[in-house]
């Protein structure tokens, strides 16, 4: 009887030990599985973020490209061509940024100048095509594009990071109780906000440059200018009066100079006459002797 009881007790102990080992193994397996699941989720999240960034760089519709064009054209009538190009730019949703013009020569009287236009990117190709189909002789055309997608995406990422830092600093400022802590946090917050404004400014500039393309057009006139009879600038009567008055003034000036010369030197003339009279007197007397 005692032997049977001892055997049963031994079996119970072995069963408990085996069950504990099994549960311990199960818990260890569950913990490893959970850890693996968290690591895998984090890796998947980082991979997804990387994939989204790479997708933003690879998707054509999301690319940021700055287009510029330089054209040299000849026109028959400068003023008319300038007005037509301005109207075409406005029709395309663009505008004229700056213009300058000058006359190439006094004899030819031909105008030449430069126009700088901003045209929406979606109308860029259409505007250039309309210029080629217009009544203009295109001597030169250069088109270039600068891809700033990577820079723009990088600026966006940096902006989000700086805004997160700004939010944390604001939270720290609410909980700060000491003056020196508030001053330190305020200094860091000011620096972060300045960086945020710089990033936003650069992003705004890039966005503007990609939304609107820049076109610079140099125009030169080729029409033959026939000079007409221009008698408006002759001023014959006025010029005659001027010359007459100049002659009168010259005579008056000469007469005034003579009067001043003789009147101003009158004492000298008196001495010279007296000396000459004395010399003449002695000469006559000596001759008579």
Most confident region among 243-247, 265-269, 284-288 by mean pLDDT: 243-247
Backbone φ, ψ for residue 118 (5° rounding): -120, 120
Instruction: Output the pLDDT for position 279.
Output: 85
Pick the more confident residue, 204 or 265.
Answer: 204
Could you give the percent of the chain with pLDDT greater than 90? Answer: 36
Alpha-carbon distances, residue 149 vs 13, 207, 246, 286 (angstroms): 70, 10, 75, 122
β-sheet bridge partners, residue 220: 74, 112
> Residues of 249-277 as b/e, b for ≥16 C-beta within 10 angstroms?
eeeeeeeeeeeeeeeeeeeeeeeeeeeee
- Mind listing the pLDDT tens digit for each residue in 107-132? 556 788 999 999 999 999 999 998 88
Instruction: Output the pLDDT for position 109.
Output: 60
pTM above 0.85, yes or no: no
Distance, CA of 154 to CA of 157 (rounded, Å): 5
How many degrees, rounded to 5, is the angle at CA 136 between CA 133 and CA 139?
A: 105
Instruction: Output the pLDDT for position 56.
Output: 47
Distance, CA of 97 to CA of 116 (rounded, Å): 5
Q: Is the pLDDT of residue 49 over 50?
A: no
What 3-state class would DSSP assign to 276? helix
- Mind listing the pLDDT tens digit for each residue in 242-256? 888 899 888 888 888
Which two structure tokens, joined as six digits, stand for 154?
A: 């990088």
Q: Is the pLDDT of residue 12 over 80?
A: no
β-sheet bridge partners, residue 63: none
Q: Please state which of the four CATH numbers 3.30.70, 3.40.630, 3.60.90, 3.10.110 is assigned to the domain occupying 65-147.
A: 3.30.70
Report residue 252 CA to chain centroid gap. 64
Pick the more confident residue, 186 or 37.
Answer: 186
Contacts of 172 (CB under 8 A, 6+ apart): 185
Count of all residues that appear for the chain in the document: 289
Instruction: Give the mean pLDDT of the chain.
Output: 77
């Amino acid at each position: 009887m005692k032997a049977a009881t001892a055997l049963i007790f031994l079996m119970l102990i072995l069963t408990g030990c085996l069950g504990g080992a099994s549960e311990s193994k199960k818990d260890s397996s569950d913990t490893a599985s959970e850890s693996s699941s968290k690591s895998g989720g984090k890796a998947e999240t980082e991979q997804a973020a990387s994939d989204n960034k790479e997708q933003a760089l690879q998707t054509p519709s999301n690319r940021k490209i700055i287009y510029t064009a330089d054209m040299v054209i000849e026109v028959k009538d400068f003023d008319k061509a300038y007005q037509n190009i301005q109207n075409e730019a406005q029709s395309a949703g663009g505008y004229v940024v700056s213009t300058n013009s000058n006359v190439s020569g006094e004899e030819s009287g031909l105008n030449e100048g430069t126009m700088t236009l901003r045209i929406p990117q979606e109308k860029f190709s259409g505007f250039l095509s309309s210029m080629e189909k217009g009544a203009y002789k295109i001597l030169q055309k250069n088109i270039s594009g600068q891809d700033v997608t990577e820079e723009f995406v990088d600026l966006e990422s940096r902006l989000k990071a700086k805004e997160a830092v700004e939010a944390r600093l604001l939270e720290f400022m609410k909980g700060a109780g000491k003056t020196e802590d508030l001053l330190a946090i305020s200094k860091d917050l000011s620096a972060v906000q300045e960086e945020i404004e710089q990033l936003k400014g650069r992003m705004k500039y890039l966005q503007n440059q990609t939304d609107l393309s820049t076109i610079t057009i140099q125009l030169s006139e080729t029409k033959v200018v026939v000079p007409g009879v221009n008698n408006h600038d002759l001023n014959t009567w006025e010029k005659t009066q001027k010359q007459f008055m100049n002659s009168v003034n010259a005579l008056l000036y000469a007469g005034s100079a003579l009067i001043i010369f003789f009147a101003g030197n009158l004492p000298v003339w008196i001495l010279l006459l007296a000396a000459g009279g004395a010399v003449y007197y002695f000469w006559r007397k000596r001759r008579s002797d």
